[in-house]
Structure 1
Amino acid sequence: MTQVTQSGLDVKTEYLYNLLARIKQRPGMYLGKCSITRMRMLLDGYGMARSELGLPRTKQQCEFDKFQDWIQERFKITSSHGWDSIILFHSADERDALDNFFNLFEKFQNGESPLPS
């Protein structure tokens, strides 16, 4: 069986962070408009599609799951609001929230403490 690859990555295993990088470069192309809500819907759809195809969760997906806790700790939120809602609440609008998502996600990926210094 031939494995489908995109940009040298095996899409059956690790692809999520590559996708996020491409969305960051051209959000309108992937999301229709710059919107954190649309980003959340796309990522939910990505996970659902992988599940429907019987593909196992990847290391990147499992790591991204920890972003929720990181965001909750950063903004001192204990409610069940999703990372997207929390970021949107602390942003001017959907576009600003999407920009803030990418900034926060970069800090998360770099292993920064969720608490601002």
Structure 2
Amino acid sequence: MSSVFEVLEKVRNKPGMYIGRPSVSDLFMFLVGYEYARSELGNALSAEDDDFYGEFQPWLQNKLGVKTVTSWAKIIMLYCHCLGFI
């Protein structure tokens, strides 16, 4: 099975094929589903994948100074909204 970074590259190249529309919340749910499917199939995460799932959100929270948010997608949406992108 592909690593999370290989999957992200595929999504980047053809987002409509994988998540339907350019949406950070849809990407988040897709990656959660991908992680779940790997777990159900008994495919262990690589150390690199485990780092992404375990460290990306805390890193993003620290970088943007956000303390309590339920997902990295919501942090990104909040940040974009504050900057006037949404």
TM interval, short-chain normalised: 0.7 to 0.9
What is the aligned partner in structure 2 of residue 43 from structure 1? 31
**TM-fit CA distance, 1:60:** 2.3
SS of the equivalent of 1:57 reads coil
**TM-fit CA distance, 1:20:** 0.4
After superposition, give the CA deviation of every residue in 1:3-57 in whole Å (9 maximum; x if it has no partner). Answer: xxxxxxxx2xx52111101111111111100000110010000010011111212
User: Which residue, out of 64, 69, 87, partners 2:58?
Assistant: 69
Q: Which runs of 5+ in 1 are unaligned?
A: 1-10, 94-117
Amino acid at match of 1:17: F
Q: Which TM-score applies when normalising by structure 2?
A: 0.84
- Cα distance in 2 for residues equivalent to 1:31 and 1:60: 23
- Cα distance in 2 for residues equivalent to 1:58 and 1:17: 11
Q: Which structure's residues are more often helix, by fraction?
A: 2
After the TM superposition, which parts of structure 1 deviate over 2 Å for at least 4 consecutive aligned residues? Answer: none
Q: Indicate conservation of the 8 Å contact 2:69/2:75, yes or no.
A: no
What is the aligned partner in structure 1 of residue 74 from structure 2? 85
The structure number with the bigger radius of gyration is: 1
Query: Percent identity of the aligned residues?
Result: 31
**TM-fit CA distance, 1:77:** 1.1
Q: RMSD of the TM alignment (CA)?
A: 1.3
Q: Which TM-score applies when normalising by structure 1?
A: 0.64
Amino acid at match of 1:52: E
Q: Which runs of 5+ in 2 are unaligned?
A: none
